[in-house]
Amino acid sequence: MREARFRWNGADIPFREGETLAAAILRAGPSDAGLGYFCGIGACQSCVVWCDGRRVEACVTPARTGASVSGSED
């Protein structure tokens, strides 16, 4: 079975089924991941990222295999 992963600013991030983008990034990455996390319900906008070209709140967006996620619109 392949491990579920997505790309975060060029790095492969593993995630567990049902996990949000923010949870996976914060669990796998260093404290300087460049991702804010405050409310956990998508209201504060501190965790906004770009996922496959769309602006989303990482704290409420489910991680999915193969997604390309970054902290900027590039």
CATH (domain of 12): 3.10.20.30
Q: What value does the mean pLDDT take over residues 15-22?
A: 94
Please report the pLDDT score of residue 1 as a whole number: 46
What does pTM read for this prediction? 0.87
The structural domain count of the chain equals 1
Q: Is residue 61 scored above 80 in pLDDT? A: yes
DSSP 37: -
Please report the pLDDT score of residue 33 as a whole number: 65
Domain that holds residue 22: 5-70
Whether 44 and 63 have beta carbons less than 8 Å apart is answered as no
Whether 56 and 36 have beta carbons less than 8 Å apart is answered as no
